[in-house]
Amino acid sequence: MELIDYYHEQCIQGRIHEDAQQLIALRQLQKTLEQLVMENKKRAQMFSFLHKPQLITGVYLWGSVGIGKTLLMDCFYHCLPFPQKMRMHFHAFMQLIQQELKKHQGEKNPLQIIAKNIAKKTQVLCFDEFFVTDIVDAMLLERLLTTLFAQHVCLITTSNVMPDDLYKEGLQRQSFLPAIDLLKHYTQVIHIPTTIDYRLRHLKQAGVFYTPNDALAHELMEKSFSALANNSHVKQEPIQLYDRVIPVKKRTENIIWFDFNVICHIPRSQQDYLAIAKKFHTIFISDIPQLPADDKDKISLFIRLVDILYDQHVRLVCSATVSIEQIYPQGYMAAEYARTRSRLLEMQSEEYFLKGNLDWVLMI
């Protein structure tokens, strides 16, 4: 099925609202898909050793939150008719790279080895939410992208910012600029300028975000936890991740409740969050404060946590001192928090909360 036909099918089924700006981006994705299919056939043919592999120019989709970038990339990924493809959230991919670096510690040019291993199995890499806040990731990306592109890996990615604004005001940003040049050279940068946030359309409040953070909010949190636990055995023992003990308010086999200052405080990391997302289908976070503009650690961790929970489709129940809009009203990471705000709003919807074919329903 052609990409545009699949998109229209999703529109008919009510999963997508057709958008003229999305269709412009989709037509470029269709051209890229056709080129990839042709290149894949040449690589797979009987005398493939006579074919010099070609790098197909990828696509860098960027625009404001909630305008369907991830949706378009998912349509593209679904329509790719060969298995040599990988779709990951950018955070998860960088964690994978860090794990592989540990395995190859002491070897010469470990990033080159890792990139070549990826390229053996992957013709197309699809990244959701390409944005960089970590200096370690920033320093790795130029060498990593150089080898991936040299190995003819096509990159399709989404981002909230144009390439030139990646890692803006980050430490040692000059060292990251070559990575930006690579992205601009090996992908076609497409801006989707629509102002409609489709995540916020048709939202149904499921009653899973409680503010102000008072006695009533605590009562509703307790009531929600009991309803979701459904008579399961409740424990209060901490969990242990990567040799670190993390206190919890309470937990069952697949539901866990954290205090904000525990789960979004150093030394928490995206590794912790990915491990938690794999083990628990619902996470409670209580006592979310309004974060000051200069509290970079907590807002960065909170953004990463929400991104990972959203990408893994983990349910989230929260209590907060202020509304979602006011949790981080201004500061260094205001642009990144705009995406988090949109996702937190979507994660309250009944559609999001009940997706996943679980055998329970939220009863509040």
Q: What is the pLDDT of residue 298?
A: 94
Indicate if 209-354 has the same CATH topology as 3-191. yes
- CA distances (Å), origin 25, targets 56, 73, 76, 200, 210: 17, 10, 11, 21, 38
Q: What is the pLDDT of residue 196?
A: 62
- CA distances (Å), origin 258, targets 235, 276, 310: 13, 11, 17
Which pair of structure tokens corresponds to residue 272?
A: 């912790």
Is 306 within 8 Å of 345 (Cβ atoms)? no
CATH assignment of 3-191? 3.40.50.300
Q: What is the pLDDT of residue 17?
A: 73
The domain locations on the chain are 3-191, 209-354
The topology (CATH level 3) of 209-354 is Rossmann fold (3.40.50)
Q: What is the pLDDT of residue 203?
A: 36
Flag residues of the chain having pLDDT under 50. 199-200, 202-206, 356-364
Beta-carbon count within 10 A of 265 CB: 12
Q: What is the pLDDT of residue 100?
A: 93
Q: What is the pLDDT of residue 357?
A: 35
Q: What is the pLDDT of residue 82?
A: 92
| Helices vs. strands in the chain: H and E counts, helices first | 13, 12
Helix residue ranges per DSSP H, the chain: 3-12, 20-44, 69-79, 90-103, 110-121, 135-150, 177-186, 215-229, 260-263, 270-279, 296-311, 334-346, 350-354
